[in-house]
Structure 1
Amino acid sequence: MPDVYCFGHVSTGTIVRLKARYPAPDGYAEIAETLENHCGEAAGSSMVLARLGATVSLEGNWIGDNPECRRTLAFLQSRGIDCAGLVVKPGYRGATEIVISDGGSRTVFGRYVDLLFTTPQWNPPTTSRIRAAKIVCVDPAFGDTTLAVARTAKAANLPVVTCDARADAPLHALADVNIVSNELIHREYPDAAKSPAAREKLFADYLQRSSGLVVFTSGSQPLWYARGGEPANARRELAAFKVTVVDSAGAGDSFRGGLIYGLLRGWSDERSLQFASAVAALVCTTAPGCVASPTLAEVRAFLADRGVALPDW
């Protein structure tokens, strides 16, 4: 029985790290290094969880029929992740991305629109794998398939964790945890990205539409969290850990993985979010992304240095 079932993006990528800031149009930037990456939201959370010692079953889009994508599959398997539900599709190019990272920001170029908004390029999720897990983690962008996974989990009384579901989306109403990033707020709710009052109103709207945990992340700024059904003034804040950022790619995926780990341990919301923030912070200090995610001992040491002690077990 796996601890976690993940469904969603499994991608192969390249990270190009710059020595200085991302250039203006027609500008120039010096490359510090170019790294092969294994990525995608579901794959990233799965790698983090496996590195922390959780057992994970992963399903999602087809794997490309080429050496690069096959290396991603082999790497996931090397982490002990159950990838039996992932399919290498003959002749398929695979989901790929290129990330340009300057430490302070990362810009993603990919093929996700082709993957998600043409024809479905994934096999149906396996019901028995979903029901065998303790927690179900699902990416929001797979349409009816995303909802099918969430509904199967809820029918089996399993917690559902997702990210970046809109407040008015059926997935948000189903989710036990919805982690909302600054990226989604800027894209879908531009007024809330500009106005603190509009952001507070948006947070209250999320709480009214869910009974689960709502988390607004904001990079190096304090995150917001509360449980659905609580009044807006019940919002709590948690400061981000200050680190020297090498590469922020994978920070959101690793945060979700860390939060799920806390849920598996039965920790409080605050303790789970502290742990998730520590995992994401450590991922940002290295590259590439979740491939270099920390061990449990490393997260413990990071938190202990900052006066946060995790429970023994």
Structure 2
Amino acid sequence: MTIRRHMESSGQSGCITVIGSFVTDLVITSAEFVKEGETILGDSFHQYPGGKGVNQAVAAARLGGRVSMIGKLGNDAFGRQQVETMEANGVNHEHVLFTDEAPSGVGNPQIDSHGRNRIVVIPGANMTFTSAEVEELRSVIAGSDIIVLQLEIPIDTVYAAIRIAHDLGRTVILNPAPAAVVSQAYAPMVDWLVPNQHEAELLTGVEVNDVGSAREAATILSAAGYRNILITLGEQGAYLRAVDGTETVSEAFRMEQVVDTVAAGDSYIGALAYGLSNGWEPARCMRYASAASALAVTRPGAIPSLPSRDEVDEFLRSRCAD
């Protein structure tokens, strides 16, 4: 139900390979979101390396995971900064590709005084990452235990990675974000589908706003062939329908101050992958991921907000003491 290979018996954590995007975040904060035709003065500007793929890779690595990243960057300053970030966080980047055809991806998160965000992404080099290039990296996938994917690279490249990982018997985690329709032909090849409420609604047509509607959506996704369906519900926690039909509901941790929700979902995915790589049971993985996500929203930025293992462990100890 978790990892298909033999790390549990060896006592060693599994290898996680994240295949996905790089997006440097150019973050603007203001009291309120700008309206159509309006010009306002903002409060601050920051530049952070990010992108769903590398966010999830760094999230897992900071928790102690053995993580490699596969994706594509432009030959530019943003690309060099992404490499420096991976090196600083212990993410193996030897299989990251570079191109002169397009610049590295950038995004423009806009954050209001309540910590809410709106994000525009220019994918750049991410969208030049081809399925043929994934095929050339088959040996990297073969040397991994868990493959983590999102949808900020071409969908055909995602499908190729799913197919290769499934054929090799590796555990596939798919975070269908940004929200998009995914071919049901690949559903049986996905071991863990992890959408948020909006993504689950797009995939099923069910308006997901609580555990009951999450159960309804998960039933549809299970019938489509997905094995474990874990739907995150923001402040309401998360709902899991496992491959054996069992259900797990995990509560969210309440935080007094929310600074920035950017990368909260990526923190959750990275922590989930880390827990699964250790052979943890789903309930433990979900609680750990919820803690990591809760800590992430108390800090600005994407990668800068991602917590370390010591921080998550201390947070869980303090909450248990309460």
Q: Decide: shared fold, TM above 0.5.
A: yes
1:132 alignment partner in structure 2:
143
Task: Say whether the 8 Å CA contact 1:7–1:59 is kept in structure 2.
Answer: yes
Counterpart CA distance in 2 for 1:225 and 1:166 is: 21
Counterpart CA distance in 1 for 2:320 and 2:201 is: 33
Which aligned pairs between 1:262-273 and structure 2 lie closer than 5 A?
A: 262-273=275-286
Which aligned pairs between 1:175-194 and structure 2 lie closer than 5 A?
A: 175-185=190-200, 187=202, 191-193=206-208
In the alignment, structure 1 residue 106 sits paired with structure 2 residue 112: no
Which aligned pairs between 1:156-235 and structure 2 lie closer than 5 A?
A: 156-164=168-176, 169-185=184-200, 187=202, 191-193=206-208, 199-210=214-225, 212-228=227-243, 230=245, 234-235=246-247
Displacement of 1:90 after TM fit? Answer: 2.3
In the alignment, structure 1 residue 16 sits paired with structure 2 residue 28: yes
Could you list the per-position Cα deviations for residues 223-270 of structure 1 after superposition, in whole angstroms to 9, with x for gaps in the alignment? 11111352xxx5432111111211111111111000011101111101
Task: Say whether the 8 Å CA contact 1:98–1:109 is kept in structure 2.
Answer: yes
1:311 alignment partner in structure 2:
none
Displacement of 1:13 after TM fit? Answer: 1.7
| Code of the aligned partner of 1:255 | Y
Task: Say whether the 8 Å CA contact 2:163–2:186 is kept in structure 1.
Answer: no
Task: Say whether the 8 Å CA contact 1:64–1:88 is kept in structure 2.
Answer: yes
Task: Say whether the 8 Å CA contact 1:100–1:107 is kept in structure 2.
Answer: yes
In the alignment, structure 1 residue 97 sits paired with structure 2 residue 112: no
Could you list the per-position Cα deviations for residues 259-299 of structure 1 after superposition, in whole angstroms to 9, with x for gaps in the alignment? 01110111110100000111111111112113331111100
In the alignment, structure 1 residue 50 sits paired with structure 2 residue 50: no
SS class of match (2:65): coil
- More off after superposition, 65-74 vs 172-181: 65-74
Could you list the per-position Cα deviations for residues 31-62 of structure 1 after superposition, in whole angstroms to 9, with x for gaps in the alignment? 332221111111111011111121211111x3
Counterpart CA distance in 2 for 1:226 and 1:2 is: 23
Q: Residues 101 and 186 of structure 1: is their aligned pair in 2 closer, same or farther, counting only changes over 3 Å?
A: farther
Task: Say whether the 8 Å CA contact 1:167–1:209 is kept in structure 2.
Answer: no
Counterpart CA distance in 1 for 2:238 and 2:23 is: 27
Gaps in structure 1 of 5+ consecutive residues: 309-313
Q: Residues 170 and 229 of structure 1: is their aligned pair in 2 closer, same or farther, counting only changes over 3 Å?
A: farther
Could you list the per-position Cα deviations for residues 129-177 of structure 1 after superposition, in whole angstroms to 9, with x for gaps in the alignment? 1111121112245323222222222222211111127575333321111
2:314 alignment partner in structure 1:
301
| Code of the aligned partner of 1:178 | L
Could you list the per-position Cα deviations for residues 166-209 of structure 1 after superposition, in whole angstroms to 9, with x for gaps in the alignment? 57533332111110112324555565247987654322111222
Displacement of 1:122 after TM fit? Answer: 8.0
In the alignment, structure 1 residue 283 sits paired with structure 2 residue 293: no
Counterpart CA distance in 1 for 2:210 and 2:253 is: 24
- More off after superposition, 208-217 vs 275-284: 208-217
Task: Say whether the 8 Å CA contact 2:101–2:125 is kept in structure 1.
Answer: no
Q: Residues 23 and 189 of structure 1: is their aligned pair in 2 closer, same or farther, counting only changes over 3 Å?
A: farther
In the alignment, structure 1 residue 68 sits paired with structure 2 residue 68: no
Counterpart CA distance in 1 for 2:209 and 2:198 is: 13
Alignment root-mean-square deviation, CA: 2.8
SS class of match (1:80): coil
Sequence identity of aligned pairs in percent? 20
Q: TM-score, normalised by structure 2?
A: 0.83
- More off after superposition, 41-50 vs 176-185: 176-185
Give the counterpart of 1:152 among 158, 161, 164.
164
Counterpart CA distance in 2 for 1:59 and 1:154 is: 17
2:97 alignment partner in structure 1:
87
Counterpart CA distance in 1 for 2:131 and 2:46 is: 27
Counterpart CA distance in 2 for 1:298 and 1:166 is: 36
Task: Say whether the 8 Å CA contact 2:198–2:208 is kept in structure 1.
Answer: no
Q: TM-score, normalised by structure 1?
A: 0.86
Task: Say whether the 8 Å CA contact 2:73–2:125 is kept in structure 1.
Answer: no
| Code of the aligned partner of 1:14 | L
Give the total of aligned pairs.
Answer: 302
Displacement of 1:69 after TM fit? Answer: 2.7
